[in-house]
Amino acid sequence: MAALAQYERIVVDIRTRIADGRLTPGDRLPSTRQLAKDWGVALATATKALTALQQQGIVVSQPRVGTVVAGVAGAAPGTPADAPLSREQVVRAAIELADAEGLDALSMRGVAARLGVATMSTYRHVTSKDQLILLMADTAFGEPVEVAGAGEPGGWRDLLTRAARTMWALYRRHPWLAHVTPLTRPLPLPNLVAHGERMLAAFQAVGAFDPQSLQDLQVLVYSHVQGLAMQLEGEARALADTGLDEDEWMAVNGAGFSGITGSGRYPRFTALMAAFGEAGGYDLDLDELFELGLGVLLDGLAVRFADPDRRRDTRRR
C-alpha cells in the first residue's frame, strides 16, 4: 500500500478524532498555521488538508469563527453548487480566509471550499488569484473605520492624524493588506486612492506645495503606516515558519546576543540589554510605536511648515 501524503495524514487524524468523539460537532479545528506548526509541514499542505475535509463535508467554515466540525445546528452548510454566487461573496470569503490564515494560505480552491462550491464556480466572477487579491485589497481599504483625530478639528494635523490612524486600523484588521500594496509599485485601487485624497486635503490645509513636494509628503506618511504594518503579517509568518513566538525566539538566540554584549565592542548596546534584563525584557508594542512615530513625524512637519521657504520644497537641504 502506498504511503499517505502529508496532507492525507492530517485528514485521517482529524477524521479519527471526530469518529472517536475527541472532536464533536461545532468544535473548532486548529488554524492552518497551527496545523502547519503541529505537523511540521508547509502552510500549503495544511491548507490542502482543511480543504479536503471541507470538500468531504466533514468540516465547514463559519465567518469570524473559523473551521468547525460539521453537523451542529446553525453551522454554515455551505452554498450548493447550483446556488447563485456573486463576486462580493467570493471576495468576502477570500478576505475572511486571508484574515484567519494569512495571504500564503489563499487559493481559489480554498475560497471555493469555504463557500461550499466547485472551484470553477469562483472563476465565473474572478479571472485569477491575482485579480482576486486586488479586489480583496480594494474592498478592505473601503471598509468604514471610526478613529480619533488630534489637534484643531479640521486643521492639517487633525486631518493627517485621522488619515493615518484610519489606515493603521485597516492594516490591523487585515494584516495581509500591507503586503499587497508595495510602496514603489502603487496599485490603481480606488479605495486606496481615497486614503491618499484625505492626506492631500490635510496638506492643502497648510498651503501651496509643488507637486513633487506634495507627493513626497504623502509617501512619507504612508510609508510610516505601511512600514510598521508589514510586521503584523511578518510575525505571523515567522511564527508559522519557525514554530517559535517572540519570547521563544529570543531564548533560542540568547547565546548569540550574549556573545555580542560580552565582546566589549558595543558598550551602549550592552548597557541597554542589561537594563532590559533587569526590567524583565522589552515589550515591542506596534500600536505604541505607530503612535510614537506618527507624533514625531507630525512634530517635524509642524516645524517645517512654520518656515514658508522649507514648506514649499521638501528636498531643499
For every one of its 317 residues, what pLDDT tens digit does the chain have, with 9 covering 90 and above? 346 788 888 988 998 888 888 888 888 888 888 888 899 988 878 888 888 888 777 888 765 567 888 863 333 444 444 457 899 999 999 998 898 888 888 888 888 888 888 888 888 899 889 999 999 999 999 999 989 888 788 899 999 999 999 999 999 999 999 999 888 888 889 999 999 999 999 998 898 788 898 899 999 999 999 999 988 887 766 766 666 677 777 777 777 878 888 888 888 888 888 888 887 777 788 899 999 999 999 999 999 888 766 655 555 55
pLDDT at 309: 64
In whole angstroms, give the CA distance from residue 150 to residue 18.
53
In whole angstroms, give the CA distance from residue 45 to residue 232.
23
In whole angstroms, give the CA distance from residue 165 to residue 209.
24
In whole angstroms, give the CA distance from residue 28 to residue 17.
12
Task: Give domain limits for the chain.
Answer: 6-67+75-141, 156-243+285-312
Phi and psi for 216 in degrees, rounded to 5?
Answer: -55, -45
CATH superfamily of 6-67+75-141: Homeodomain-like (1.10.10.60)
With vertex at residue 104, the alpha carbon angle to CA 245 and CA 187, rounded to the nearest 5 degrees, is: 115
In whole angstroms, give the CA distance from residue 8 to residue 4.
6
Q: Please list the alpha-helical segments (H only) found in 102-210.
A: 108-115, 119-122, 129-141, 156-173, 190-204
Cell of 60: 465547514
pLDDT at 54: 80
CB 218 within 8 A of CB 156: no
Could you tell me if residue 136 is left (phi over 0), alpha (psi between -120 and 50 degrees) or otherwise beta? alpha
Cell of 95: 478576505
Q: What pTM did the predictor assign?
A: 0.70
What DSSP string describes 211-238? HHHHHHHHHHHHHHHHHHHHHHHHHHHH
CB 194 within 8 A of CB 252: no
Q: In CATH, what is the architecture of 156-243+285-312?
A: Orthogonal Bundle (1.10)
Task: Provide the angle, in degrees to the nearest 10, between the axes of the packed helices 156-173 and 211-242.
Answer: 30
**Helix, strand, coil % over all residues of the chain, rounded to 5:** 65, 5, 35
Could you tell me if residue 66 is left (phi over 0), alpha (psi between -120 and 50 degrees) or otherwise beta? left
194 secondary structure, DSSP code: H
Q: How far apart are the first and last CA of the chain?
A: 73
Cell of 64: 469570524
In whole angstroms, give the CA distance from residue 291 to residue 102.
25
Beta bridge partners of 61: 67
- The three-class DSSP label of residue 67 is strand
CA 59 from chain centre, in angstroms, equals: 25
